Amino acid sequence: MATVHDQRARANRKVAAITAGVALAMLGLGYASVPLYRIFCQATGFNGTTQRATAEQAAHVRATAQKITIRFDANVAPGMKWIFRPEQVTQEGRVGERKLATFYARNVSDHAIVGRAVFNVTPEQTGLYFHKIQCFCFNNQRLEAGQEVRMPVIYYVDPEMLKDANTRDIDEITLSYTFLPAANASG
């Protein structure tokens, strides 16, 4: 027959095991939260996160008659010695049409710098429909001292945008990039 002391010890072990399990689950969710948030944003376009598309996927998209203006914005993190700008500030096109935009970057420092572009679109609800086929933002960019480059972005705006009550009346989207020093400096 179990004593009161034995029953309390068993109950304490059970509480300790449950508490440890909850703590481990919270720790796991803490580590998983950044990748899970990134996946969520990419799947939903939340917070202006754009989508990625392959050339094969883009080949099946048909342009509509609906006109759209894309505005380009370029920024560099404070202290990062790059000049970065769009070669064309706005671009006219049709929803569903594949377009090419080019950005200019130059390292004005006396040493190599590896940068990574973060991006978003506004209005935020259009992120779900803005698809990039090719973009310099997919990889780190290494510029040697004084080097200048032109960086392309191939994109389209998905015609499904015209069926969404939250986006069908939007006729201008801003694609914004900010270059930051790369956390992993392998170019």
Q: pLDDT tens across 30-68, in order? A: 554 444 434 444 444 444 456 777 778 877 889 999 999
Neighbouring-strand partners of residue 101 = 153
Per DSSP, 64 falls in state: -
Q: What mean pLDDT comes out for the span 121-142?
A: 92
Residue 29 has a CB neighbour count (10 Å cut-off) of 10
Strand blocks (E) in 19-170? 51-52, 67-76, 82-86, 90-94, 99-107, 113-122, 130-135, 141-143, 148-157
CB 143 within 8 A of CB 90: no
Q: Tell me the percentage of the chain whose pLDDT exceeds 90.
A: 60
Terminal CA-CA length for the chain: 69
Amino acid at 118: V
Q: What is the pLDDT of residue 159?
A: 96
Q: pLDDT tens across 166-186, in order? A: 999 999 999 999 999 987 655
Q: What mean pLDDT comes out for the span 139-153?
A: 96
Q: pLDDT tens across 76-105, in order? A: 999 999 999 999 999 999 999 999 999 999
Query: What is the residue-averaged pLDDT of the chain?
Result: 84
Q: What is the pLDDT of residue 157?
A: 95
pLDDT band at 123 (very low <50, low <70, confident <90, very high): very high
Q: What is the pLDDT of residue 12?
A: 76
Fold of 47-181: Ctag/Cox11 (Pfam 04442) (2.60.370)
**Positive or negative, the Cα torsion across 162, 164, 170, 175?**
negative
